Structure 1
Amino acid sequence: MNLELKNLHVAYGNVEALHGINLHINMGEIVTILGANGAGKTTTLMSISGLVKPNKGEILFDNQALHSLPSHEIVKRGITQSPEGRRVFGTMSVIENLNLGAFTSQNIKKNTQTLEWIFRLFPRLMERKHQLAGTLSGGEQQMLAIGRALMGNPKILLLDEPSLGLAPILVRSIFSTIKAINDAGVTVILVEQNAKAALKLADRGYVMEVGKIVMEDKASNLLKNPDIQKAYLGGTIK
């Protein structure tokens, strides 16, 4: 079972954002997508989750086409997304936000087990479960956004900029939790401006520039690549 994007083209009106990208994700991996703002990283994730539709090309999961399905059907097949900017529902409580993540599941026992697992991953959410999401700190809202995505019991979790705007100590905590989620059997596709942290966590990485994949390699190799160091890692890594 794997996820494949084949010759994927996506346009917003007359402007093409993805120019025929190809990538594959093997089950059990953490794969990071690197690139500057506007490179097409978020569009790639939104294409996988069905929020934008390709003009051309295919998205295949376990050899079944996803690109023609509505987004809620893609969630049912085991792919969920934690969006950039968190996008929690501020006037709803933490527990209400989490329950929304299970909207495609009728299995109450499984939902309860998943919720208990999320509270083990993020004890802060358990402490704040009746608090309005809009009153949480940025780090807590990020935990909530990831937890809400996990309530769909995904096989693949799409994470878009999970460390954005967070203090370094919270960044370390979030990345440690992503590793724990992966260790529990969830495949992770990670879009992240903190390239160094992402590459240290990931198995493989793709580099995007203006809607194209320009490099693919093991994350450890990308971390040592002088071009990647110069472009994304602030110079040589000692």
Structure 2
Amino acid sequence: MLLEAEDLHVRYGNVEALHGINLQVRQGEIVTILGANGAGKTTTLRTISGLLRPAQGEIRFESQPIHKLPAHRLVAMGIAQSPEGRRVFGTLTVRENLNLGAFSQTDAGKIAKTLQWIYELFPVLAQRHNQLAGTLSGGEQQMLAIGRALMANPRILLLDEPSLGLAPLLVKAIFQTLWEINEAGVTIVLVEQNARAALKLAHRGYVMEVGRIVLEDRADALLANPEVRNAYLGGE
């Protein structure tokens, strides 16, 4: 198992945000986490990536406990996150943002190869490599945020709402690229409000409600589940 969370409890002060969740991610999978706003999806990703500390429970990466390690150590181990809201550095260029993503890398040849791959995935970033990130469109900033995470050469990529605020055609393009990234060998954990698109892309999924996992199944089974369809797919 590549990644496991067991009996994970996370608190913000006296408020418990995660109530003992368990999840597993196998090498090569795309796993999606669905749920309404406030369900605990972002908290789950932030805890996996080391930005939050669990009050109880354990996270393991390749069977090694990682829940007490700082975020930069996890990046070096192969866990990278593209955060909700993109969080690009607006006063830096596209290329400078991408270079920051490679802070844990030391092999110049490998960095150059990864950069070329990202430019192939997102040609617009190559065209705008000297442009300030703050002047990019929302879709271009999302591509940059994903590219920056990929510069760390992650084994597992955590994505928080990559389609948020994007036009449908751009959402389709982003999800096609996520499929290509997975085909290249990167495992993906995807938090996404667009449940239909996420389940069509993913191999398996978890459904969260108020800090608990209430359903887990193959993605196609969740897509056909009447409860999921009524709650997240408009009952279609």
**TM-score, length-scaled by structure 1:** 0.99
Q: Residue 114 of structure 1 corresponds to which residue in structure 2?
A: 114
Question: For the residues of structure 2 that align with 1:14 and 1:111, how far apart are their CA atoms?
Answer: 43
Q: Aligned partner of 2:32: which letter?
A: T
Aligned to 1:53: 53
Separation in structure 2 between the aligned mates of residue 66 and residue 114 of structure 1, nearest angstrom: 26
Distance in 1 between residues matched to 2:69 and 2:225, nearest whole Å: 38
- 1:2 is displaced (CA, Å) by 1.3
Mapped pair 1:26 → 2:53: no
2:143: which partner in 1? 143
Q: How does 1:157-176 map to 2 (within 5 A)?
A: 157-176=157-176
Deviations 1:142-191 (A, max 9, x none): 00000000000000000000000000000000000000000000000000
Q: Which amino acid aligns with 2:97?
A: N
Identity of aligned residues (%): 69
How far apart, CA to CA, are the structure 2 residues paired with 1:50 and 1:120?
A: 30
User: What is the aligned residue count?
Assistant: 236
Secondary structure, counterpart of 1:175 in structure 2: helix
Q: How does 1:14-163 map to 2 (within 5 A)?
A: 14-163=14-163
CA–CA distance in 2 between the matches of 1:115 and 1:66?
28
For 1:108 and 1:233, the matched residues in 2 are separated by 45
In structure 2, give the amino acid aligned to 1:16. E
The structure 1 segments of at least 4 consecutive aligned residues displaced by more than 6 Å after TM superposition are none
Unaligned ranges ≥5, structure 2: none
Give the whole-Å Cα distance in 2 for the aligned partners of 1:86 and 1:63.
30
SS at match of 1:46: helix
Secondary structure in 2 aligned to 1:145? Answer: helix
- Code of the aligned partner of 2:115: L
Q: Which amino acid aligns with 1:67?
A: H
Which residue number in structure 1 is paired with residue 184 of structure 2? 184
Cα distance, 1:15 vs structure 2: 0.3
Query: What per-residue deviation string (whole Å, max 9, x for no partner) do you get for residues 181-222 of structure 1?
Result: 000000000000000000000000000000000000000000
Structure 1: distance between partners of 2:86 and 2:61? 25
